[in-house]
Amino acid sequence: MRIRVDDTVEVICGDDQGTRGKVMRVDREAGRIVVEGVNKVFKHVRRSQKNPQGGRLSRESSIALANVLFVCPACNHPVRLGARVLDDGSKERFCRGCGASAGQMSPAKARRAKT
């Protein structure tokens, strides 16, 4: 899973298709993410001291990871992400469209370094 918190993604199917938003939370085990402003649901809340009025609260629900694409900051297009090993042995994410780097995945390791 190459999508991380604070990445910008675009929804590619469902009711919010075409909507771009920032990733707020990632659930790696379930393969789901929460995107800001996408898949809004109402949570009905009983009156309490914390919430004296009660009523319906609008919040984001999770969506499947397969339903979003990463938006490359370099080319500003929704693309798939790849992983590549650099010469020093570190791994980075990269845009499959333009080849631009999207950040480091893991630090340099001697066994991955190209000599």
One domain, residues 62 and 106 = no
Do 92 and 51 belong to one domain? Answer: no
- Give pLDDT, residue 115: 67
Q: What is the CATH number of the domain that holds 28?
A: 2.30.30.30
Q: Which domain covers residue 66, as residue numbers? A: 1-71
Predicted pLDDT of residue 112 = 80
Same domain flag for 13 and 58: yes
Residues 10 and 65 in one domain: yes
pLDDT of residue 83: 94
d(CA 99, CA 82): 9
- Residue 106: its pLDDT value, please? 87
In this structure, the answer to whether residues 40 and 95 fall within a common structural domain is no
Provide, for the chain, the percentages of residues in helix, strand and coil under a 3-state DSSP scheme, each rounded to the nearest 5: 5, 45, 50
42 and 91, same domain (yes or no): no
67 & 83 share domain: no
The verdict on pTM exceeding 0.95 is no
Contact 25, 34 (CB under 8 A): yes
Mean pLDDT for each 10-residue chunk of the chain (115 residues)? 92 94 96 96 93 91 96 94 91 93 88 77
Contact 70, 82 (CB under 8 A): no
